[in-house]
Structures are given as structure tokens and as C-alpha cells.
Structure 1
Amino acid sequence: MSKKWLGLAAAGTSAAMLLTACGGGGGNEDGGSDVSVDDSAISGIVDESTEQGGTLNYAHSDQFDSLDPGNTYYAANWDFTRYFARTLVTYEQKPGEAGLELVPDLATDLGEVSDDGLTWTYTLKEGLKFQDGSDITAEDVKYAIARSNFAPEVLNKGPNYFNTHLDAGGYEGPYEDGNLDNFSGISTPDDRTVEFHLNEPFAEFDYLAAFPQTAPVPADADTGDQYQTQVVSSGPYRFDGEWTPGKQLTLVRNEEYDPETDPLTRNRPDKVQVQWKQEENDRDKRLLNGDLHMDVSGVGVEASARQDILRDDELKANADNPQTGFLLYFALNSNVEPFDDRACREAILYGADKTAMQGAWGGSIAGDIATNMLPPSIPGYKDTDPYGTEGQTGDEAKVDESLEECGMADGFSTNIAYRSDRDKEKKAAEALQQSLKQYGIDTELKGYPAGTYTSEQAGSPAFVEREELGILAYGWGADWPSGYGFLQQIMHGDAIKDAGNANLSELDDPEVNKLLDQAATTDDPTSREEIYADVNALAMDSATFLPYLNQKALLYRPEGLSNVYFSEAYKMYDYSALGLEQN
């Protein structure tokens, strides 16, 4: 995913749904039938402790898209930014279903909605401070949302829900319009009151208030896309001087932070450090040896470490294998020839060997084969498989029929994009490449860094068309677990952006758009679920999506960590809760 997953208990999502696998498929590449691990951190807290102190060390095989809380769309980063960016509301610091509950963070309570559903009001707590001791005000929150959602020419890596739902007229953002009073989508009648003015009712708005885009930004400290080098902290840690992208990041305690105003305990270590651009297998080796505390990307260990864990009972005792809520898929872009022809797209869907792609990620321990574009944990999911083949290995007759229909009986060639620092994603692309080759469909693999994949390559429609990237590897998880939170950014035509685009298929189907807009204003959860099922069916019928894996991750927690648990909100360990055992 690039993305994060947030809780929507009100829509009927339960911890049981989120934690239960939906059936087998494939095998386990590591051999043997026992691929079970400890899993204690899925439903409970491992090594619960109140101790503080020490340096918590993270590593990443690449780097985040941006450390600017208003300019990021990676799930792990939304988890990580809670160290230095407090939001209007946040998620309870608990394992299991309890961790899906929204609690007020900077705000005194959850949003108060007007009778007509068009105004949501939040009141800031008293005594909130930035790292320099200045007061955090309602205008700082308003400015943060103005810059993150209304200035795509400067900040384009995050989602644009506020732009979609706020009644902001033709506001052009703070870099074009220096008068914040012209931003009518939000009003601030006093220093502690933030009023959001919507263009239509939106029942799930509180979930937007948990986005890092609501973390306050003082306007006089904003440096546009360079703000990530020295974010002004509203949380328990601050940057230790100006950060240079690619270099080690060090967070130290923010002396102006008042834990009494915080519903979470997120200040256990004395210092937090992150090393970027670390080779994956070396990172995993350090993790298993205890020389590293956490892989900050949260995607799980690679094949070599996975084998080591599954063959060693002591290592198994420190491992968890949760359902992540991620759906892994390939997007087929209909603006790239020959995928402007539906039948050519269908040839890919019928020719894909999903069992081989599942094996590329590690077999059954990596997840269950996906057959449509809603994960089982999302309300609205139905067990459908419109392009299913026997054994999920492909159907030669269907491929031949599709190729004949699209006028490419002898096959064709195209390119497959993937994130070059993600070995498992590369192997899945190679598996797809091999399965298509037997039908005369030749593909060239093109790898790009994860840190720029959605902002400059796969997420740039102009780049995709210029480089003829017909097939694009991606992973997605809901911004919060409703069908809208999962589907809108990857399927609605209005979500297509010049950069930072998550709708890699560039699907712009009027009926899909209409249904998603309808769901946003529908109060009844059951009715919304039916709409999401219809959207899913239409998306699959468009033949622009090749879903192949409902992902699980093999996560490792070395000795010495305390307060470790899997967050159902962020779908990885809750970084803000972690501490270190003190000897």
C-alpha cells in the first residue's frame, strides 16, 4: 500500500474479520506444513512495561515518500509520524478491535456535526505547544490542510479527501493565495475552534480528522516540499537539527511536549533513529541478530529471514503473521496501448498465474489468493471471481479468445513497473512475466525506487504514458476500513492526479464515480455495503485490475523491545507505543 488502514467499527468491521484468513491456496516455499509462529502480539501486548530510556533503532530498504505529515501516503509513515505530529483525533493505543477506536488527540472530543451534516467542529485542548514553545492554534490546523490538499503543484504525495469534501470554492492554496481567510472550507472563529464546511454530508468525516494532514503547521515555518527536512513538532519528539533525505534521521525528546494532554503514551525511548537505503537481507539479518529493533516499512521479512524464522523455534517465538488488510494487485492502464482495448486487458487477467505470484511472496504464509478488489475485512466484500481459472494458473483457451478479439492473435508486448527495492514485488512481476510469455505476450520489467514510485513514476500519468507502462505493480489498504476508504482513491476519476496518483489504472467510469459519491452521503451502513459491492463488480468488469494476494506479513520483534503489539488501525506494529527494556 502504499497506504494505511484505519478502523471503522461502526460499519461492522470486527477484529475477528480482520484477523481470520479466508482459506488456503498455493503452498509454502519454505517446505513443511507447520508455518505457524507465536502471534502473541496480534491480540495482546508483548513485554508490557512503563520503562523509559534508550535509543530505538529502525531501518528502511529505501525511504518514505516524504517525512512531511501533509505530503505522505505510505502506511508506515502515517504510523511513524505519530512520534512528532499530533492530529485532531487518533487511534487508541491498544491491540485488537479496541485499537480501531478513535480518540481525541489535539481536540477535546470527536467532531460535533451540525443537523444538516455540513459542518464538523473540533475544539483544541488548552496548553498545546510547538517545539519552540509557541501556542498551537486553530489557524495552524487550517493552514496544514490548506497546504496539503489545495497546492498540488507543490505537495502532491498525500490523499486529497479534504479537497474533495470541503466547500472551498476555487481556493488555490496558500502558495498561490497568501490570504488564508480566502480558504472558506475551514473557519476558525477563535484560537481553539476549527470548523470544517462540507459540500455534502459525509458520515465518516471523523476518520479524516485522524489523518496526519491535520497535524498543525505554523505558516511562517513552511518551506513547501522542503518542509520534510525540519518538521516543526507538535508531538513527543522533534528532529535533531535539519534532516537531509537519505541520511540517518534522529528524533530527540521535545521538551515542550506535555504528556498530560495526550491520550497515548508515545514517549518511551530517549531517542529514535532511522537508517535509510538499507539492503533488505542485511536489514533482516540485523533484525534477527538483535542489532536492529524494527523494519520501519512494516512489510515483513524477506525470503532468507523467513526461512530462518520458520525453521527455528526460538525465532518463531518472537514472530507474528497477521493479516495486513493489504490487497496486492497489478493495475492495467487503459491509456497505454494495447490496453485501450478491453479484450487485450482480459488476455492478461486470464493468462496470469496467481499461484506463482503467491509463491513469489512466500506461499500461504504470505496470504491468500485474491479474486476481486475488496479484501475480506472490508464491509461490502463478496466472494466473487470473475476471471477465475482452474487452479488459478491461467486459461489458455480464454487467453487465445481474448487475443483474437483484440486483434493480437500472435500476442503483443508491454512493460511492467514495480518497486525496485522490494524483492518480493519484483519476484511477483517476474512470475507474471513468465506466465504471460507462454501466450506470446512479451513484457519488460522496469523497476523504480519506492520513495518516488507514486510521485514520479507509476503515480505520474504523463510518465506512465511516455514510458508505456501498461502493467503496474501496487499494493493497497483502506485509509479506514469501509468500502469508501478502500476504493475511492484507486477507482474514482476525481482521484486521478498529475503526480502522487494512486488510481494507477486511471479508471474514470461515470457509474463507479456516481456510486462512490452516493456512498459518501448514505447514512445506512448496510446500504453503503451494497454500493461498495456494486463498485467492486464494476471495477472488475472494467478489466483494469489484476488482484492476486490478500496479504499477510511475517513480522519479527527482537528481544529487548517492550510494549509490542500489532495495530489494527495501521496494520503493522504500533511504533508510537514501543519501548526498550532497561537492564
Structure 2
Amino acid sequence: MRSAKLVTVGVLAVALAAAGCTKNTGSDNNDDNNNQEAATQSATLAENSDGPAPDVPGAKPGGTVTIYTSGDFEHLDPQQNYVVPSQTVGSNLLYRSLLQYRENGDGKLELVGDLTTNTGEESNGGKTWKFTLKDGLKYEDGTPITANDVAYGIARSFSPDLPNGPHYIQQWLVGSGDYNAKYKGPYDGGAKIPPGVEVPDAKTIVFNFPTPHADAPFAMALPTTTPVPPSKDTKVQYDNRPFSSGPYKIQEYRRGQQMTLVRNTNWDAKTDPIRHQFPEKYVVDFTRTAEQASELLLADGGAAQTGLSFQDLQIPASVYPKVIANADAKKRILTGTTQFVWMFDFNLQRMKDINVRKAFNYALDREGLLKVWGSYSGDPATTILSPTTSGYEQYNQYDGGKNGDPAKAKELLGNKRVPLTYAYRNTERNQAVAAFLRSSMKEAGFDLTIQPVDEDQYYTVLGAKDNQFDVYMQGWGSDWPGGAAIIPPLFDGRAITPTGNQNITYLNDDQVNKEMDEILALSDLTEASKRWAKLDKDMMTRIVPIAPAIYDKQTTMYGSKIGGIYLSAPYGNSGLNNLFVK
């Protein structure tokens, strides 16, 4: 998942490495907000997926919550939704999937049936998974949600017209990274049910994979499995008005400005084990910078009293000292380690010299970068896998010290100057990062041309195979904290297509591909975790597809009248399921 659970077939207890979370109280918190470490947690596949969701102490209905986020959502279409702010709003408020996570910020996670009666029935050695829908599920217009609609949602995710979003289920169903080579979705006469999927009746959907997938329940929690009624499908325009199956629906959506969500009166709390419907409405404000949003929340007046900032609007360095100096505001910081790693991706189609890639790693001034980023918002990263990942092993293959080693970089470059084009997301924070990178890399011999890309087009542009950039920064968080949710989506070269790529280094290495296949086939997931860590180091030694930069920490704010807030482990962002206005 972009800025981003191990299960054994037949066993409910799961060892899950995930983000360290703050408590879900919405009340004062005098803990030091800067010293949270990555933590391992335990999770279970829930035995009971019934609704309603657990009570939230002190919660009451009414009021308006304002969410500050930078720029419009790249995609709100569930089958294309794979960036944290949009996925949080989509999966918490607008629509439901086959499975989902139940959490309340106390560090305990359960995977529960969201639309389904349980977390799935496995057979055929893990190749077949059956899910049964609950009674009483309805869309915003009162029509019933059916298994056919779930199948249709998955079918449309195969379309080359909708190339973004998670690709696990599509690839697993056809047994190939090139998942739409033969089946291209339901448009232009294609079947409304994808290959490998059966719909015996309106309440039953069955997945038949060519190979076992023990972690299938976790993939079913992604918005890929969101139901879409064919009559409401507007194809590429579905981003503008997804049809609600969740507790809220879109009242108004002015792209680039504001989105207003109001209660969906046909949502039934008795069917939903994770969501509530406390606020009367949500207003998503796309127009604020990180500094503006943080200043508003610091002042704590007007709409900001019932507002919060999202992951992409971390408290900036210009405001943070004022926040921690204010006793009341300091209590309203939401912080904790997340599963995201921020990295500089090398476009291997263009940066073909491994010594250039090694030199970039040696030259990177991670301590200086963190000062620009916000030293309270991360730690220096040197690995592909996050410390929250099961089996993670720390190493530093290109140790340039805290501030980089320009001399070593120059040596690798043969004292030649290397021009690079760096693309950055056009936000306040990333403008500063781009300027810092251009300045700090000069001494090592790199001449960076920096080029902004619109916030709501960033990953779409970089996901085009023919993009004309050499280096770019991305944040990746695992969809479940095992290497299978990190290395294959980021580096499987067989999945590269003209557009919609998650592998934006464009690495296609036979040895890496072979090792991934072997690890994914292992039934011993403890052994698999060890081998993902070994592959991490091998890739950074033999290929160097990225320069790891920052292990992420969430550091955002919320208003004094917000209750029920917590840091969501699956999303690495402010959870919305329990929010209420005090």
C-alpha cells in the first residue's frame, strides 16, 4: 500500500508484526510523543464477525468532522484505491469489502468478515476459498448487495482502463503477474465474473487459485473485493462517485476543493462489525498545506475543533516547536511508528550503472533529510523491509554515516558528474525534500534537475513504464506485515505493464523472480520470513534498486472536540471507524 499477518491455513492465531499504536481514547495523552518504537502485535482471525461494532466509550451522535488532506484523492474508485488517505476514507466510511480489520487502538487486531459471515472456508490445500455474505446488506439506494456484485468489482479490476490498485487477487487467480493478458475485465463484452471465481448463488463467492494462498483472507480485506453494481459502474469516471455500501455516502464532491459525506440511511449497523455512524457528516478539505492545517489545529477554533489531519499532512518542522510548547496541543498529537518505508526508487530503465546507484546510497544524508522531513516523523532507513515486518533483519550495506559519504560516492562515480532528473510530489514537504536533495547531492557528483508532479497524479505518472524520470520518492507500507506484501508488489518484473505499475523501479531480475516464487510456495511462514529478509539484503547488494531513506512515524494533530481517534495499524493513518464529536 502506498503512502501502506501471517496466517497458517487452518490456524486462527496469527503472528503479526505491525505498527505501534496509540490508545483509542480521544483524550489527554501526556506520553512523550517522540519515542515510539516499532512493535510486534498479535492478531487473530475472528470467530465472530457479527455486528454491530463494539461500543466506543463516551461516543454520541451528531456534529461534523473535518479532515485536512493535501490535494485531491488520486483514486476513490475502490478497485483503483491504493494510497493511504483515499483508502482510509474509502474503506472506513464509503464502502465495505469481503473482510476487514477490527481494531480500537489498543494494539489488538482481528480480521473479521465485513460483508461475510466469517473469515472464509479453505479447502483443496489452500487453493480454494469460499465466502458467504451476510443477510441484510444494502447499498445506499436500498438495493441488496450480492455476491455477483463482489465478483463484478473484482472483474473490473482486471481492466487495462483501471490499472491502479492492489493486484494480489488478480495475479493469484490467473497464476501470473500479467493478469490481464487473456481476460481484460467486463468491458467491451468481457464476462462479469473473472476467471477462477464462481458465484453459486447470490450470497456465495468461491475463489479457485492455481496454487495455495494461505494469506488469502488478508488480501480479501483490500478494496479490490468491494461490491460494485454493474448498473452504477461509470468505468474510469467511478472515481468521482463510487456507490456506497458503507455508513456514509457522497453528498458533494468538488474535485480539488472539498468532498462532503453524509449518513447512508440504508447502512445497517447490525451487519457491520467494525464501523460506526456517529458524526452527522464528514467534510474532506483538499486545499490546506501541512503548515496551514497544523496552525488551524493548534489554534483549535471553529471547524478545526472537530478536525484532524491525515498522514500526508504531518506536523511540519515550522510548526512542531509551537505544538510541543503548548500543553493542550501536545496532548492532541497522534503519533506512532507505522509500517511505511520511504525510499528513493531508481528507474532501472534509465539508471543502468550499479555504481551510480551505490554512490547515491553512500551520498544520501539521512540525518539532514530527516531534519527537513521532521526528525520526529521517522528514523533513518537502510533496508527494503520495515522493522515492523515479520522476519526483519537490520543491516546497512552502504554506510555513509549519518550525513552520507560524498568521498566514497565520488570514488564510485570515477569523479565524474552524473545528471539525474528527480520527480517529486508537488506538496510543501516534498518541495523541501527536493530542494534539499538537489543541494546535498552536489558534493558527491550528482546534478539533480527537480520536477514537480501533481499530488493527485503522482503514482499514476510514475506507474507509466515510459516515464522520463530517473529517481523519485515513494512510501510503501505492507498490506499485511510479511515480505510477501512488500517485495513481490514492488519488484516482480513479470507484472510490469505499460501503465499502473507498482514496481516503479522497473526491476525484472530472473534470480529475484525465482526466489520470490520459491518463498511464496513455502508452507512454513517462519522460514518464509527469514528468506524475505535474506532476499532484501541480496537485492540491495547485487542490484541496488532503491535508496532506503526513512522508517515512517505518524505525527499528525486533531482538534479538542474529536473523540475516538486512534492510529490505525492496517493504514498507518488516523482511523475513522470510531470517531465522534464530543
Q: Does 1:89 align with 2:95?
A: no
How far has the Cα of 1:133 moved from its partner?
1.4
3-state SS in 2 of match to 1:194:
strand
Matched residues in 2 for 1:248 and 1:296: separation?
15
Q: Match for 1:74 among 78, 83, 101?
A: 83
Contact 1:93 1:577 in 2 (8 A): no
Aligned to 1:433: 438
Aligned to 1:63: 72
Aligned to 2:452: 447
Contact 1:299 1:553 in 2 (8 A): no
What are the superposed Cα offsets for residues 438-478 of structure 1, whole Å, 9 maximum, x if unpaired? 133211111112210011x22222123xxxx1111111111
What are the superposed Cα offsets for residues 34-67 of structure 1, whole Å, 9 maximum, x if unpaired? 964698xx99x99932301111111222111111
Is there any run of 5+ residues in structure 2 with no aligned partner, and where? 23-30, 42-53
Contact 1:46 1:562 in 2 (8 A): no
Change (3 A) 1:14 1:502: closer
Aligned to 2:404: 394
Aligned to 2:504: 504
Matched residues in 1 for 2:423 and 2:55: separation?
39
After superposition, residues 352-391 of structure 1 pair within 5 angstroms as 352-363=364-375, 365-389=376-400, 391=401
Aligned to 1:341: 353
Contact 2:335 2:567 in 1 (8 A): no
Aligned to 2:421: 415
Instruction: Give the TM-score normalised by structure 1.
Output: 0.88
Matched residues in 2 for 1:321 and 1:240: separation?
31
How far has the Cα of 1:19 moved from its partner?
5.9
Q: Match for 1:213 among 218, 224, 227?
A: 224
How far has the Cα of 1:523 moved from its partner?
1.7
Instruction: Give the TM-score normalised by structure 2.
Output: 0.88
3-state SS in 1 of match to 2:355:
helix
Contact 1:368 1:550 in 2 (8 A): yes
Contact 1:83 1:237 in 2 (8 A): yes
After superposition, residues 103-252 of structure 1 pair within 5 angstroms as 103-148=112-157, 150-152=158-160, 154-167=161-174, 170-181=182-193, 183-240=194-251, 243-252=253-262
Matched residues in 2 for 1:514 and 1:200: separation?
15
3-state SS in 2 of match to 1:49:
coil
**Could you tell me which amino acid in structure 1 is paired with residue 243 of structure 2?**
V
Aligned to 2:462: 458
Change (3 A) 1:554 1:296: closer
**Could you tell me which amino acid in structure 2 is paired with residue 186 of structure 1?**
V
What are the superposed Cα offsets for residues 154-213 of structure 1, whole Å, 9 maximum, x if unpaired? 1122121112100388222111334325x3221100000000111211110001110112
3-state SS in 1 of match to 2:78:
coil
Q: Does 1:318 align with 2:319?
A: no
3-state SS in 2 of match to 1:439:
coil
Contact 2:310 2:556 in 1 (8 A): no
How far has the Cα of 1:535 moved from its partner?
1.9
**Could you tell me which amino acid in structure 2 is paired with residue 444 of structure 1?**
T
3-state SS in 2 of match to 1:176:
helix
Contact 2:70 2:312 in 1 (8 A): no
Matched residues in 2 for 1:514 and 1:196: separation?
25
**Could you tell me which amino acid in structure 1 is paired with residue 283 of structure 2?**
Q
Matched residues in 1 for 2:116 and 2:477: separation?
26
3-state SS in 1 of match to 2:164:
coil
**Could you tell me which amino acid in structure 2 is paired with residue 380 of structure 1?**
G
Q: Does 1:51 align with 2:60?
A: yes
Deviating more after overlay: 100-109 vs 515-524: 515-524
Matched residues in 2 for 1:447 and 1:74: separation?
19
3-state SS in 2 of match to 1:227:
helix
**Could you tell me which amino acid in structure 2 is paired with residue 151 of structure 1?**
S
Contact 1:46 1:564 in 2 (8 A): no
Aligned to 1:24: none
After superposition, residues 539-554 of structure 1 pair within 5 angstroms as 539-541=539-541, 542-554=543-555
Q: Does 1:566 align with 2:576?
A: no
Aligned to 1:25: none
What are the superposed Cα offsets for residues 290-338 of structure 1, whole Å, 9 maximum, x if unpaired? 33201234552222221211222221111132112211110111211xx
How far has the Cα of 1:488 moved from its partner?
1.8
Change (3 A) 1:165 1:565: same
**Could you tell me which amino acid in structure 1 is paired with residue 308 of structure 2?**
M
Q: Match for 2:292 among 265, 282, 292?
A: 282
Q: Match for 2:413 among 400, 403, 411?
A: 403
Q: Does 1:555 align with 2:548?
A: no
Change (3 A) 1:111 1:73: same
Contact 1:38 1:320 in 2 (8 A): no
Contact 2:199 2:206 in 1 (8 A): yes
Aligned to 1:29: none
What are the superposed Cα offsets for residues 406-452 of structure 1, whole Å, 9 maximum, x if unpaired? xxx3212111111111x333333333322220133211111112210
Aligned to 1:13: 16
Change (3 A) 1:505 1:265: closer
Matched residues in 2 for 1:47 and 1:101: separation?
17
How far has the Cα of 1:138 moved from its partner?
0.5
3-state SS in 2 of match to 1:345:
helix
Matched residues in 1 for 2:35 and 2:389: separation?
26
Aligned to 2:342: 328
Percentage of identical aligned residues: 31
Deviating more after overlay: 378-387 vs 47-56: 47-56
How far has the Cα of 1:504 moved from its partner?
1.8
Q: Does 1:267 align with 2:277?
A: yes
What are the superposed Cα offsets for residues 532-555 of structure 1, whole Å, 9 maximum, x if unpaired? 012201221212210111111222
Aligned to 1:483: 483
Q: Match for 1:301 among 315, 324, 347?
A: 315
Deviating more after overlay: 434-443 vs 493-502: 493-502
Count of aligned residue pairs for this structure pair: 544
Contact 2:297 2:559 in 1 (8 A): yes
Contact 1:491 1:539 in 2 (8 A): no
3-state SS in 2 of match to 1:141:
helix
Change (3 A) 1:351 1:343: same
Aligned to 1:27: none
How far has the Cα of 1:151 moved from its partner?
0.4
**Could you tell me which amino acid in structure 1 is paired with residue 200 of structure 2?**
P
Change (3 A) 1:35 1:254: closer
Matched residues in 1 for 2:288 and 2:332: separation?
22
How far has the Cα of 1:287 moved from its partner?
2.0
3-state SS in 1 of match to 2:66:
strand
Contact 2:3 2:474 in 1 (8 A): no
